[in-house]
């Protein structure tokens, strides 16, 4: 393909993308293919000769599109959103065209300096104090891994990277069972080990970590000769939106000199709305926190905002400076590759610049307020239905419910069948979770183009399919 052809195809793809988004309601939300169907439609060997783009694009529409679950569908109510607003997509188009590797200031000064400014815009937007600085990671999983590595190094007096964990004191990290499984993975990769992730019981309507139980667990570990390293709290947990009392967790941590990381991957975006900030009251006392603008805020994946109180601790944990990565002749510059696990970095800040300028914070706040209000209204409609119960109250735009008709014997199986039948139907998309060992159905509103009518439509689909199921 030459650049003239590229320009023509670029226009065609842009037109296709606009039409795709405008007609998504006509498609089933979840892919309706069987396992292996796409694989079997693809040739087993690569082509020896070049093929025309017209044929390639036709095969894209014929083979790929039917096998896609449409995350930008306005009736996607599963998991959490992975939004892609139009200005964010345009910014990504430009980033792809320039194809810069932005690992150092000198490899793209604009990327580094815009990241610095955009992270400060986000800091202000969510109400964090000026003592925090930030870096854009690819995902909350990476940000959490960086935090766990930092708490490990601090607890080992910065000797873990050099000496390894053999012969070192046994480290302990504390969280509730409501945190995302990325915390478990970070514990594995860091070498701390699953057995040293201490689960603290939760209580209260927000399923918050019990601070008294947290304190008792730390004291017991100290008495046993273990070395507590840090605490991972959550705001808006993936299952049903569990949110720890961040201030209480920080108070316990300070008494023992422990590092606190806050995972607010989904819910953190909502903190651009001042009245929602009570959900993470005390956040100014944590050592680090993460939220994903690529979830609810409208930034194209991947874009994870990782804030730290002391960047020197993060850099001391992650930075490696061989001669070929040094920038000579410039003092005081930031190389964000030293703040991240990967060396290579994309120009992720550009989409934040396009996004926030295109909508303004007030425009984004209006969307989030709508989602929260629409979700609460749906919860009330389902609560009023005789065969449904609300199993966890709305946390922002997330709640869970259970279909429990009179006479039904195995409600776990019934509710899984309900989810599966809804998703096979294709008009909306939901997921299930376990709540205190019971199977429940999750519902969250967060897709960028979702309307109040889409949420009302979800009520119709849920109740229609539930009423038509065999429940005995």
Q: What is the DSSP letter of 130?
A: T
| Dist CA 240 CA 204 (whole Å) | 13
CA distances from 146 to 137, 158, 353 (A): 10, 14, 25
Q: How far is CA 246 from the centre of its chain?
A: 19
227-234 and 208-209 beta bridge pairing: unpaired
Calculate mean pLDDT across residues 373-387.
96
Under 8 Å between Cβ of 182 and 140:
yes
Picking from 72-86, 92-106, 320-334, 414-428, which range would have the lowest pLDDT averaged per residue?
320-334
Please give the structure tokens belonging to residue 447.
């897709």
Residue 324 binned pLDDT confidence (cut-offs 50, 70, 90) = very low
- Mention every residue, 6+ apart, whose C-beta is less than 8 A from residue 341: 142, 145, 146, 318
Global pTM value: 0.91
Locate tokens 């209000």: which residue? 373
Residue 328 binned pLDDT confidence (cut-offs 50, 70, 90) = very low
The model's pLDDT over 387-401, given as tens digits with 9 standing for 90+, comes to 999 999 999 999 999
- For residue 259, pLDDT beyond 60: yes
Phi/psi for 243 (5° steps) reads -140, 120
The pLDDT of residue 397: 96
CA dihedral 45, 50, 55, 56 (to 10 degrees): 60
Under 8 Å between Cβ of 111 and 334:
no
The pLDDT of residue 37: 94
The pLDDT of residue 471: 65
- Mention every residue, 6+ apart, whose C-beta is less than 8 A from residue 194: 184, 187, 188
* Exposure on the CB side of residue 129, measured as CA atoms within 13 A: 11
| Dist CA 270 CA 286 (whole Å) | 18
The pLDDT of residue 342: 85
Under 8 Å between Cβ of 338 and 319:
yes
398-403 and 388-395 beta bridge pairing: antiparallel
Residue 90 binned pLDDT confidence (cut-offs 50, 70, 90) = very high
Return the SS3 of 141. helix
The model's pLDDT over 406-464, given as tens digits with 9 standing for 90+, comes to 888 899 999 999 999 999 999 999 999 999 999 999 999 999 999 999 999 999 999 99
Calculate mean pLDDT across residues 38-51.
94
- For residue 77, pLDDT beyond 90: yes
Out of 1.10.3720.10, 3.40.50.880, 3.30.70.270, 3.40.640.10, the CATH code matching 101-346 is 3.40.640.10
The model's pLDDT over 266-316, given as tens digits with 9 standing for 90+, comes to 999 999 999 999 999 999 999 999 999 999 999 999 999 999 999 999 988
Please give the structure tokens belonging to residue 241.
């939106």
The pLDDT of residue 267: 95
The model's pLDDT over 141-170, given as tens digits with 9 standing for 90+, comes to 999 999 999 999 999 999 988 888 888 889
Which of 445, 397, 391, 436 is CA-nearest to residue 178? Answer: 436
Residue 329 binned pLDDT confidence (cut-offs 50, 70, 90) = very low
Average confidence score pLDDT of the chain: 92
Neighbours of 463 (CB within 10 A): 16
Q: What is the DSSP letter of 276?
A: G
The pLDDT of residue 181: 85
Please give the structure tokens belonging to residue 407.
């006479």
Report the interhelical angle of 140-155 vs 181-189 (nearest 10°). 50
| Dist CA 76 CA 30 (whole Å) | 8
Domain boundaries, the chain: 101-346
| Dist CA 13 CA 89 (whole Å) | 12
- For residue 32, pLDDT beyond 60: yes
């Amino acid at each position: 393909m030459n650049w003239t052809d590229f320009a023509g195809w670029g226009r065609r793809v842009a037109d296709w993308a606009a039409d795709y988004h405008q007609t998504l309601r006509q498609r089933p939300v979840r892919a309706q293919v069987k396992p292996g169907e796409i694989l079997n439609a693809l040739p087993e060997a690569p082509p020896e000769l070049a093929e025309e783009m017209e044929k390639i694009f036709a095969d894209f529409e014929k083979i790929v599109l039917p096998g896609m679950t449409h995350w930008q569908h306005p009736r996607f109510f599963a998991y959490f959103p992975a939004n892609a607003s139009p200005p964010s997509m345009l910014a990504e188009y430009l980033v792809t065209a320039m194809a810069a590797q932005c690992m150092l200031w000198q490899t793209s000064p604009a990327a580094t300096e815009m990241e610095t400014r955009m992270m400060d815009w986000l800091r202000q937007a969510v109400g964090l104090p000026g003592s925090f600085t930030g870096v854009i990671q690819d995902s909350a999983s990476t940000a959490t891994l960086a935090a766990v590595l930092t708490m490990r190094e601090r607890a080992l007096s910065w000797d873990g990277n050099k000496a390894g964990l053999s012969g070192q004191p046994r480290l302990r990290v504390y969280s509730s069972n409501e945190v995302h499984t990325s915390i478990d993975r970070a514990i594995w990769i860091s070498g701390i080990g699953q057995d040293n992730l201490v689960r603290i019981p939760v209580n209260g309507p927000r399923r918050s970590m019990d601070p008294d139980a947290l304190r008792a667990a730390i004291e017991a570990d100290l008495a046993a000769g273990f070395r507590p390293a840090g605490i991972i709290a959550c705001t808006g947990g993936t299952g049903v939106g569990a949110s720890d009392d961040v201030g209480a967790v920080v108070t316990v941590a300070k008494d023992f000199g422990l590092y606190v990381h806050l995972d607010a991957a989904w819910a953190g975006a909502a903190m651009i709305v001042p009245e929602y900030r009570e959900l993470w009251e005390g956040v100014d006392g944590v050592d680090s926190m993460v939220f994903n603008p690529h979830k609810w805020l409208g930034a194209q994946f991947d874009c994870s905002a990782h804030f730290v109180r002391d960047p020197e601790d993060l850099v001391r944990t992650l930075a490696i400076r061989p001669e070929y990565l040094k920038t000579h002749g410039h003092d005081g510059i930031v190389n964000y590759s030293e703040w991240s696990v990967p060396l290579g970095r994309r120009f992720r800040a550009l989409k934040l610049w396009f996004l926030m300028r295109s909508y303004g914070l007030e425009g984004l706040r209006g969307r989030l307020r709508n989602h929260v209000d629409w979700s609460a209204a749906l919860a009330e409609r389902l609560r009023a239905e005789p065969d449904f119960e609300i199993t966890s109250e709305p946390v922002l735009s997330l709640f869970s419910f259970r279909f429990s008709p009179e006479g039904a014997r195995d409600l776990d199986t019934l509710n899984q069948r309900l989810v599966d039948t809804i998703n096979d139907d294709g008009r909306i998309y939901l997921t299930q979770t376990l709540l205190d060992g019971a199977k429940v159905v999750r519902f969250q509103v967060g897709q960028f183009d979702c309307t109040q009518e889409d949420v009302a439509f979800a009520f119709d689909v849920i109740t229609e399919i539930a009423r038509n199921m065999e429940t005995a």
